[in-house]
């Protein structure tokens, strides 16, 4: 959960650094703790600036493109003011971008977008999406090494932990409002 909170906090701090103070979230309906941990991280990132994301700017949806399109349309129709959307994952961020374009909004000039996962699509769509990159290959390597170590040492439980933190991949889907 720490890495999810850290990712949300990093996204919020980055948007603040770029002058965004009215942020919306389109997050997942997953029943695990990841969506709530990211929301908590965003709120932690905004707290030093005495800002929050009100519930009225948080939309829960299935984590896919179509649901993100519908959620973005709902957010736009709500009349809420926002300059940036943090999407739960990159596929949702693509859906957000489609819905904004359909509504005549420009990314990032009118509304900025940040996703999570650093999927290949982030660097191939226009504009290229800013995202939080989880080191999946490094995590898989670590898990493989740990599995081999545990297999070789019967009845041994390692007394260490390893926390993988996301890294911001800045592209051009976030406007600098400063």
**Cα distance between residue 98 and residue 144, in whole Å:** 38
147 found inside a domain: no
Closest to 117 in 3D by CA, of 90, 138, 94, 142: 90
Write out pLDDT tens, residues 32-64.
Answer: 778 899 999 999 999 999 999 999 999 999 999
Residue 137 is predicted with a pLDDT of 64
CATH number at residue 106: 3.40.50.2300
Distances (CA, A) of 136 to 60, 89, 167: 25, 14, 11
* Residue 72, domain member (yes or no): yes
105: in domain: yes
Look at residue 160 and tell me if it is in a domain. no
For the chain, the DSSP string reads -HHHHHHHHHHHHHHHHTT---EEEEEE--SSSHHHHHHHHHHHHHGGGT----GGGEEEE-SSHHHHHHHHHHHHHTT---SEEEESSHHHHHHHHHHHHHTT--TTTT-EEEEES--THHHHSSSPPEEEEP-HHHHHHHHHHHHHHHHHSTT-----------EEE--SSS----
pLDDT in tens, 81-123: 999 999 999 999 999 999 999 999 999 999 999 999 998 998 8
- Kindly report the pTM of this predicted structure: 0.85
pLDDT of residue 17 exceeding 80:
yes
Per-residue confidence (pLDDT) for residue 157, from 0 to 100: 65
Which tokens is 16 given? 């603040």
Q: Which residue range forms the structural domain that includes residue 14?
A: 2-135+165-169
159 domain-assigned: no
Within-domain flag for 141:
no
175 within a domain of the structure (yes/no): no
Query: At 173, phi and psi to the nearest 5?
Result: -105, 10
pLDDT, position 114:
98
Compute the distance between CA of residue 65 and CA of residue 162 in angstroms, rounded to an integer.
Answer: 32
Total domains in the chain come to 1
> How do residues 120-168 score in pLDDT, each as one tens digit?
998 898 999 999 997 666 666 766 776 777 777 766 666 666 566 788 9
Number of alpha carbons in the 13 Å side-chain half-sphere of residue 12:
26
pLDDT at 144: 73
pLDDT given at position 155: 63
- 142-150 long-range Cβ contacts below 8 angstroms, 24+ apart: none
Output the six-digit token pair for 56.
């009225």
Task: pLDDT band for 78, please (50, 70, 90 cuts).
Answer: very high
């Amino acid at each position: 959960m720490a890495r999810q909170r850290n990712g949300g906090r990093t996204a919020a701090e980055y948007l603040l650094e770029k002058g965004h103070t009215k942020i919306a979230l389109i997050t997942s309906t997953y029943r695990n703790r990841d969506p709530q941990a990211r929301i908590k991280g965003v709120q932690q990132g905004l707290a030093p600036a005495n800002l929050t994301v009100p519930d009225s700017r948080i939309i829960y949806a299935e984590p896919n493109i179509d649901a993100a399109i519908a959620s973005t349309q709902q957010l736009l129709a709500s009349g809420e003011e926002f300059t940036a959307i943090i999407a739960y994952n990159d596929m949702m961020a693509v859906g957000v971008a489609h819905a904004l374009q359909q509504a005549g909004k420009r990314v990032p000039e009118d509304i900025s977008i940040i996703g999570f996962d650093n999927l290949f699509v982030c660097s191939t769509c226009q504009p290229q999406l800013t995202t939080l990159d989880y080191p999946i290959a490094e995590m898989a390597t670590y898990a493989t090494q740990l599995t081999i170590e545990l297999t070789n040492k019967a009845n041994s439980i390692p007394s260490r932990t390893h926390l993988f933190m996301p890294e911001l991949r800045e592209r051009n889907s976030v406007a600098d409002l400063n």
